[in-house]
Amino acid sequence: MNIVLTGSLGNIGQPLTETLVNNGHAVTVISSNAERQKNIELLGAKAAIGKLQDVDFLTETFKGADIVYLMETMEAAGDMFDKSVDFIGDITKIGENYKEAVERSGVKKVIHLSSIGAHTNKGTGIIRFHHHVETTLRQLPVDVFIKFIRPVSFYINLFSFIHVIKSKGAIISNYGGDVKEPWVSPKDIAAVIAEEVDKQFGGKTIRYVASDEVSPNEIAEVLGKVIGKPDLKWTVIPSEQLLDNWLSIGFNEQVARGFVELQESQGNGTLYEDYNQHKPSLGKMKLKDFAKDFATAYGNAAGR
């Protein structure tokens, strides 16, 4: 099949491209970075260089595709330290561009990388744009079939704790404890998307993706052991203090407030309400597998 992928060669895009090419599909990878063209072609795919904000470019690239894979990221909107960016608004607009390009190109099968929390527009903070984009894509005609893939929290988000572990000796957040929550590896997400490419399409469906379920305290224990800090703790501070910390280092206010609210929803469980009603089979990559990558990144990071 002829498949067009957004997302360039990111944490999901690279393994997904490799798998689809190896499975015999003709793959086109959209990237905004012309320097990625060579790497895309080395994987056996075709590169399409352009921006997600350009509807005409998307439309032309989508034409003739059997399936388009759509995703949107914070990076597509701008730098999280740029105080002028409206991340939720700008990413929602990318979703509108996708809808228009799908309609104009005649594509009938879509796989959309959404997110846990997309079932609601309340209490999910910065990832609320996923709900907006899903809502927009659901307005496509009934003969356009969509598979909404909803991954849970990415293991790689835990890399953001490296600096605070080195400087404060602890993982610090506004939630924590012993309640298990789901985490996922990009490799498992790519595997699920590749699997769905070859499955039958029909209607507009939802599939959650998760690799493991562990608590914040378990995460601290596992990561602490691999970095040589067996007493590492996951420390909880008030949301107001965490917000002040992030604003003080220059985060875009929408981003800072959005992440604080998102983490509150992790702590009180509202983020997982729909997931808990539609739990998937867990993937292959467990926390202990990711911990090896975390240890490498921790060792390579500046600081003590």
Prediction pTM value: 0.95
- Does some domain include residue 223? no
- Structural domain that includes position 120: 2-154+184-210
| Residue 75, pLDDT above cutoff 90 | no
**Looking at the domain assignment, is residue 267 inside a domain?**
no
Is 170 within a domain? Answer: no
Give pLDDT tens digits for 268-300.
Answer: 999 999 999 999 999 999 999 999 999 999 999
Mean pLDDT of 135-162: 97
Q: Does pLDDT of 146 surpass 80?
A: yes
Per-residue CA distances from 245 to 47, 48, 178, 241, 268 (Å):
41, 40, 25, 6, 21
Q: Longest C-alpha distance within the chain, in Å?
A: 57
Whether residue 42 lies inside any domain: the answer is: yes
11 occurs within a structural domain: yes
CATH of the domain at 202: 3.40.50.720
Query: Does residue 94 form part of some domain?
Result: yes
Whether 55 is in a domain gets the answer yes
Do the domain assignments include residue 169?
A: no
How confident is residue 74, by pLDDT bands cut at 50, 70 and 90?
A: confident
What pLDDT is recorded for position 76? Answer: 84
What's the domain count of the chain? 1
- Contact at 8 Å (CB) between 170 and 164? yes
Q: In this structure, are residues 116 and 75 in contact, taking their beta carbons and an 8 Å threshold?
A: no
Q: Sort residue 294 into left (φ over 0), alpha (ψ -120 to 50) or beta.
A: alpha
